[in-house]
Amino acid sequence: MIVGADTRQLSQRFQDVRAMTDVLAARLSPEDQTPQSMPDASPAKWHRAHTTWFFEEFLLRPDPGYTEYDPSYRYLFNSYYEAVGPRHPRPQRGLVTRPGVADITRYREYVQDALVRALEAGRFDDQGQELVELGCNHEQQHQELLLMDIKHLLSTQPFAPVYVERGPDDDAAPAPQGWRAVSGGIVDIGHEGPGFAYDNEGPRHQVLLEDFAISERAVTVGDWLEFMADGGYRRPDLWLSDGWARVQSQGWDAPGYWDEQDGSWTTFTLSGRRRVVPAEPVCHVSFYEADAFARWAGGRLPTEFEWEVAARQRPELRGQLLDPERVHPGRAGSAMVGDVWEWTASAYLPYPRFAPANGAVGEYNGKFMSDQHVLRGACAATPPGHERLTYRNFFPAHARWAFSGLRLAKNAGR
């Protein structure tokens, strides 16, 4: 196989993605990287190892000339791929003290060196190169997850430790709120090349939409404070039944990470605990909370199809994406991509004619299309270049540890 510019570019992309993971982990001590704060989170060390396992398992291990780094890692760092074999239980990942952080670093270097050699020697056909690109996107997903999970872990500690130092928050006002009319009709939805997309972003298909309107910016902290002041967390008439049950059982009275101190609301950030900033998009709210707010505000959540069509009107606008020196939303603006993932009214279901790929890689998305809701856009922990207008993120309705917010929609003429 001839090694061309595309292969060299892919090798450089692979190394750049791996380097960003190292940048994000560099601020964490071995003690920070080992525990997990809840079963839905994973240790930072595990994220670093699992992304490495992906490349080893799907690209290097099939080569009879490759020597596996450590056979036990195939069990320890498989996430959910049943076709690969048994794996360590997810809730117990934080109990794995061996291998340690230094061992994981050596593992990452070993696999990375082997993959670069294979790429630069032209050992991968088109399908193999597509798997390398999938692995790069997979690692970028885990960069975001690593930051979400370390934020949750650090938030459980009594003195609000700082992951990254940054300056004081901007007190500027948010962009004005208003409504933008969007025409309906029969519209095309989903990814249609060129470029990478996950399998759940297609096939491209047609959907019938009625005319609607969408809010000019995301719901802000200031908006949410008004909702709270009006008894939003005390009014069962605003809530779905399951959501109200969560409010009662979990004692929710504010978004995730918020706490009232000396009469003022604060929020835990990756730069420590700070006063909430009214101009920022509200973050760390569940689908249940987003739905209740929309009802209180006299609107609704957009469907994911409405969201995609509206976002196409402003395809180049971006809010805050991953900046390792910030890792926090910026002032709410008119961009629909960035700052916070936005809940939609849509259940996470397959598009018409969707079919997962053969083999273990086919387990990547399709097996999770049950009891989840779609979020669109991107957030302040999403690596630049990993965001797309067709990207379908998904979480359970109660989830609050993601960088999740919302914007409103309403029917035309309301």
In CATH, what number is assigned to the domain containing residue 190? 3.90.1580.10
Tell me 100's DSSP state: -
CA angle 242, 243, 246 (to 5 degrees): 90
Closest CA to 342 of 279, 392, 273: 392
The DSSP bridge partners found for residue 398 are none
User: Do residues 349 and 246 share a domain?
Assistant: yes
pLDDT of residue 325 exceeding 60, the answer is: yes
- Considering the domain architecture, whether residues 73 and 221 belong to the same structural domain is answered as no
Percentage of the chain exceeding pLDDT 70: 99
Look at residue 175 in the predicted model and tell me its pLDDT: 82
Q: What is the average pLDDT across 215-223?
A: 97
pLDDT in tens, 93-148: 999 999 999 999 999 999 999 999 999 999 999 999 999 999 999 999 999 999 99
Evaluate if residue 3 carries a pLDDT over 70.
no
The answer to whether residue 12 sits within a structural domain is: yes
CATH number of the structural domain spanning residue 49: 1.20.120
pLDDT in tens, 152-178: 999 999 999 999 999 988 778 888 899
What Å distances lie between residue 107 and 43, 89, 99, 101, CA to CA?
Answer: 16, 21, 10, 10
Closest to 154 measured CA to CA, from 319, 12, 267: 267
Q: Which domain holds residue 151?
A: 5-155
| Pair 313, 236 in one domain | yes
pLDDT of residue 172: 82
Model pLDDT, residue 34: 98
Same domain, residue pair 141 and 186:
no
- pLDDT band at 318; cut points 50, 70, 90: very high
Write the CB contacts of 61 (distance below 8 Å, at least 6 apart in sequence): 68
pLDDT-derived band of residue 47, with 50, 70 and 90 as boundaries?
Answer: very high
Whether residue 173 is contained in a domain is answered as no
Examine the domain organization and report whether 138 and 285 are in the same domain.
no
Half-sphere exposure of residue 5: CA atoms within 13 angstroms, side-chain side: 0
Q: State the total domains in the chain.
A: 2
Specify whether 141 is located in the same domain as 198: no
Q: Is 145 within the bounds of a domain?
A: yes
Query: Are 143 and 251 part of one and the same domain?
Result: no
Do 146 and 183 lie in one domain? The reply is no
Average model confidence (pLDDT) across the chain: 95
149 and 188 inside one domain: no
Q: Quick one: average pLDDT of 15-38?
A: 98
Report yes or no on 202 lying in a domain.
yes
- Identify whether residues 227 and 372 lie together within a single domain: yes
Same domain, 146 and 234: no
The 10 Å Cβ neighbour count of residue 296 is 18
Examine residue 222 and state whether it is found in any structural domain, yes or no.
Answer: yes
DSSP of 339-395: SSEEEEEEE--PPTT--PPSSGGGGSSGGG-SS-EEEEE--TTSPTTS--TT--EEE
Percentage of the chain lying above the pLDDT 90 cut: 92
Residues composing the chain: 414
Torsion of CA 372, 358, 40, 350, to 10 degrees: -10
In a domain? residue 101: yes
Q: Nearest Cα to 395, choosing from 364, 372, 363?
A: 372
Tell me if 130 is assigned to some domain: yes
Give the separation between CA 328 and CA 271, rounded to whole angstroms.
9
Q: Let me know whether 135 and 255 are in one domain.
A: no
CB 407 within 8 A of CB 218: yes
Residue 305 and residue 186: Cα distance in Å, rounded? 11
Q: Which helix (H) or strand (E) holds 189?
A: strand 185-189
DSSP class of residue 286 equals -
Rounded to an integer, the average pLDDT of 345-363 is 89
Note whether 276 and 266 are within 8 A (CB).
yes
Q: What pLDDT, on the 0 to 100 scale, is given for residue 2?
A: 40
pLDDT at 4 over 60: no
Query: Is 33 a member of any domain?
Result: yes
Distance from C-alpha of 414 to C-alpha of 409, rounded to nearest angstrom = 10
Give the Cα separation of 303 and 179 in Å (integer): 16
